[in-house]
Amino acid sequence: MSDANKEVVRHWVEDIANAKDLDACDRLIATEYTEHAAMPFGRPAPGRVPGPATMRQTAQFMNFMFPDLTYTIDAMIAEDDVVALRLTARGTNLGPIGGVIPPTGRTFVSGQSHWFRVEDGKLAEHWATRDDLTTMLQLGVIHPPESSGVQPDVGRPGRAP
């Protein structure tokens, strides 16, 4: 069962994310779907959502911001009905980020992890952790603070780390 569940997740990456085949949402996503991962700028909010329609909307939202977005699977493991996936995301920002921040035209490469619960051969639940800080730094949306040349005073008694 674990290998079959891994194949469903692999198709999420290959078909929906990489090939931009939005019809695959109907094949791969359960009607009753719970999204635990908030999209940047809170769209849509986490919770129970209409599965295929929400996945299609999410993919369209991401493709608008990053038309060349691709995921590379770095590792995948499965146990029972849960599949964990570590991947590398790459893309060029050509559309407004979150519909609010003007496109930067810059590229990014950052890590993500996704966990799915598979039910009856379809993705029924999703959790994600994305390295959005690295992405926003690479896109130039945020900038690291200027270095003052002063080293933090850590490790001495009475000093906050």
pLDDT tens track for 64-111 = 999 999 999 999 999 999 999 999 999 999 999 988 999 999 999 999
Q: Residue 40 falls within a domain, yes or no?
A: yes
Kindly write down the DSSP assignment for every residue of 44-74, as one continuous string.
Answer: SPSEEEEHHHHHHHHHHHHHHH-TT-EEEEE
- 60 in a domain, yes or no? yes
pTM, two decimals, is 0.85
At 27-49, the pLDDT tens digits run: 999 999 999 987 665 555 678 88
Residue type, 158: G
**How many independent structural domains does the chain possess?**
1
Q: Which residues contact 23 (CB under 8 A, 6 or more apart)?
A: none
Is 155 part of any domain? no
Domain region containing 104: 2-139
**Short-list 85, 1, 96, CA closest to 43:** 96
Would residue 157 count as lying in a domain? no
- Centre a 10 Å sphere on the Cβ of residue 63 and count the other Cβ atoms it contains: 17
Among the listed residues 1, 13, 18, the one whose alpha carbon sits nearest the alpha carbon of residue 128: 13
Question: Is residue 148 in some structural domain?
Answer: no
CATH number of the domain that residue 32 is part of: 3.10.450.50
Distance CA(16)–CA(24), nearest Å, equals 6
Question: Is residue 150 one of the residues assigned to a domain?
Answer: no
Angle at the Cα of 9 (from 8 to 14), degrees rounded to 5?
95
Q: Is residue 161 part of a domain?
A: no
Instruction: Tell me, yes or no, whether 23 lies in a domain.
Output: yes
